[in-house]
Structure 1
Amino acid sequence: MTVHLLADSAADLPKQFYDQHHISFIPLRVFLDETEYEDLVSIQPHDVYEAMRNGKVPKTSQPSLQTFKDVFSKLAEKDAAALYIAFSSELSGTYQTAVMAANEIKEEFPEFDLRIIDSKCASLGYGLAVKYALQLSTDGNTIQEIEASVKDFCKSLEHIFTVNDLNYLARGGRISKTSAFVGGLLNIKPLLHVEDGKLIPLEKIRGKKKLIRRMIELMRERGLDLSNQTIGISHGDDIETAEEFKQLIEAEFQPKEIIINMIGSAIGAHSGPGTLAIFFPGNKKS
């Protein structure tokens, strides 16, 4: 690679992906049973989902300032141009902490070319941006070219998802407890999307089959040349539904590639088991 890449665990890519491609991996932190863990390092998403099914309430936090400084300083010593693609600043303080750490490191290493992108993306949408940056770097693009292209890519990405149990969103303050209770009684599922990095309710739909059909419709309405794209599906420990959804997408759009991965602890601790999300380049205007 011409540029060293960095990403955090909210990208919901497998840990081996980072290792295989020599991308610096920065784990978010998970607190469960009064113990602190590192996402994908000392705790796996399945463990978090099992704990939630058993009534436990995990909490998450961003990486520490010192964690970023340690990673950045090692790269600065190697004098390697580096690009960190960060989890949406509207959903976590990770980006802001990284910027603070970078400013401190650059005081010591003023020639260090470190750039940080606020992806405004989450889960495998963020992961697709990391994979896109990797391809650009492998192809020999400069850090300036990669930074500009990844920003444009992130702006176009659609995130559409639903949760299986509204109570998890209620615990995180995303919706009221009353809404969660009523929605559960009526089998109402929320459809949400990400707009400028923020989590925005889109529609409420009754029944799983109608929900899946609506997600396909939204792909048709919002997608850009999907037959030539890589599409991401992430799930909250529900691979069967994800695989069924994949088959529907393949039949409808024949995309170049579909990637499926479990939603990691950093996001799954708030969305809960059974979450289903789809990510694809859209026809948004920059």
Structure 2
Amino acid sequence: MTVKILADSACDLSKTHYNEFNIEMVPLTVQLDEKEYEDGKTITPKAIYDAMRDGKGPKTSQASQQTFKTIFTSYAEANQPLIYIGFSSELSGTFQAAKIAEQEVKEEYPNAPVYLLDTKCASLGIGLVVIRAAQLAQSGASAEDILETAQYHAEHMEHIFTVDDLEYLYRGGRVSKTAAFVGTLLKIKPILHVDGGKLIPLEKIRGSKKLLNRIIEIAEERGTDLSEQVIGISHGDDLETAEKLAELLKEKFNPKEIQIEMVGSVIGSHAGPGTIALFFLNSKTK
């Protein structure tokens, strides 16, 4: 029986990907103007970025335990293999909710072929892992083989990103108020990455012109066989800069493919408009 791949909306894939690769998706939620929306379903990232530019502060919530329990139960009853590839447990409680739901379902269905993977990744960092897993599932690979490859990709997935305004990271507790103020005042652009599932500052660059070139240099330093990879770029409603970065990547590495997507409503609520993120593997693909 074909393995089904389940993702959450923090993977920032488009509906096209979900349809093409037969991926099921669980939405996280966003609260805006006292209303609650399902990320990737009932609100667009563009609406979130426009609201943030108008000074509004959207709030986000994890996917619910009950939602996961309902999904896991349906697959357990059908005895169909299911792999949930999730948002970093260091950045959201969503994976923990899924883990509790799995434990409850397996009390009733101890042999249920339901598997969970905490990617310790975010945005298209998860998305690229999900796509690779879904491709393997479509080719008839076993759950064990898919999990092994997905785990490898998750462990080796680099996230190199920058934000346009440090204020949004300050609101989310990622930088101090002083750092946010000084950074904005001096036009300092932070470069961050993800390590162990957490957001970690990497460097500070003064001025936007140097920024993309430095990101390319970091990719060269950390990446392996970039010409053979599918590379991801996600952006906070700044397609122009994302396409500039893609052109630089093509000139330097000529990768197999570049996926460009907008950062979704949930992650965008914390990173803000103008975010640019690059995702690639730091070791050979499997």
Q: 2:200 corresponds to which letter in structure 1?
A: I
Q: 1:240 corresponds to which letter in structure 2?
A: E
Alignment-derived partner of residue 231 in structure 2: 231
Alignment-derived partner of residue 24 in structure 2: 24
Residue pair 2:191, 2:205 contacting (<8 A) in 1 also: yes
Alignment-derived partner of residue 6 in structure 2: 6
Alignment-derived partner of residue 256 in structure 2: 256
Moved more, 198-207 or 65-74: 65-74
The C-alpha deviation readout for 1:230-272, integer Å capped at 9, x for no partner, is 0000000000110111001000000000000000011000000
Query: Quick one: distance in 2 between partners of 1:90 and 1:64?
Result: 17
Query: Quick one: distance in 2 between partners of 1:97 and 1:225?
Result: 36
Q: RMSD between aligned alpha carbons? A: 1.2
**Residue 111 to residue 283, structure 1, CA distance change in 2 (3 Å):** closer
Alignment-derived partner of residue 188 in structure 1: 188
Number of aligned positions between the proteins? 284
Query: Quick one: distance in 2 between partners of 1:178 and 1:136?
Result: 47
Moved more, 105-114 or 32-41: 105-114
Alignment-derived partner of residue 122 in structure 1: 122
Q: 2:165 corresponds to which letter in structure 1?
A: D
Query: Quick one: distance in 2 between partners of 1:205 and 1:283?
Result: 26
Q: 1:27 corresponds to which letter in structure 2?
A: P
Moved more, 124-133 or 15-24: 15-24
Query: TM-score, normalization: structure 1?
Result: 0.97
Aligned positions of 1:58-137 closer than 5 A: 58-137=58-137
Task: Give the deviation of 1:20 after TM superposition.
Answer: 3.4
Aligned positions of 1:170-181 closer than 5 A: 170-181=170-181
Q: 1:228 corresponds to which letter in structure 2?
A: E
Query: Quick one: distance in 1 between partners of 2:116 and 2:97?
Result: 11
Unaligned 5+ segments in structure 1 are none
Residue pair 2:21, 2:131 contacting (<8 A) in 1 also: no
Residue pair 2:157, 2:280 contacting (<8 A) in 1 also: yes
Task: Give the deviation of 1:72 after TM superposition.
Answer: 1.2
Query: Quick one: distance in 2 between partners of 1:67 and 1:135?
Result: 25
Aligned positions of 1:194-273 closer than 5 A: 194-273=194-273
Query: TM-score, normalization: structure 2?
Result: 0.97
Alignment-derived partner of residue 57 in structure 2: 57
Query: Quick one: distance in 1 between partners of 2:151 and 2:192?
Result: 22
Query: Quick one: distance in 2 between partners of 1:216 and 1:22?
Result: 33
Which runs of 4 or more aligned residues in structure 1 lie more than 6 Å from their structure 2 counterparts after TM superposition?
A: none
Task: Give the deviation of 1:16 after TM superposition.
Answer: 3.2
Residue pair 2:119, 2:126 contacting (<8 A) in 1 also: yes
Unaligned 5+ segments in structure 2 are none
User: What is the DSSP-based 3-state SS (H/G/I as helix, E as strand, rest coil) of the residue aligned with 1:234?
Assistant: strand
1:279 to 2:279 alignment: yes
The C-alpha deviation readout for 1:98-133, integer Å capped at 9, x for no partner, is 010011111222221100000011000110000110
Query: Quick one: distance in 2 between partners of 1:12 and 1:42?
Result: 14
Moved more, 256-265 or 9-18: 9-18
The C-alpha deviation readout for 1:28-84, integer Å capped at 9, x for no partner, is 010111111100111111000000000000011101111111111122222101100
Residue pair 2:95, 2:118 contacting (<8 A) in 1 also: yes
User: What is the DSSP-based 3-state SS (H/G/I as helix, E as strand, rest coil) of the residue aligned with 2:37?
Assistant: strand
Task: Give the deviation of 1:134 after TM superposition.
Answer: 1.0
Percentage of identical aligned residues? 57
Task: Give the deviation of 1:177 after TM superposition.
Answer: 1.6
1:145 to 2:145 alignment: yes
Residue pair 2:21, 2:135 contacting (<8 A) in 1 also: no
Query: Quick one: distance in 2 between partners of 1:16 and 1:71?
Result: 22
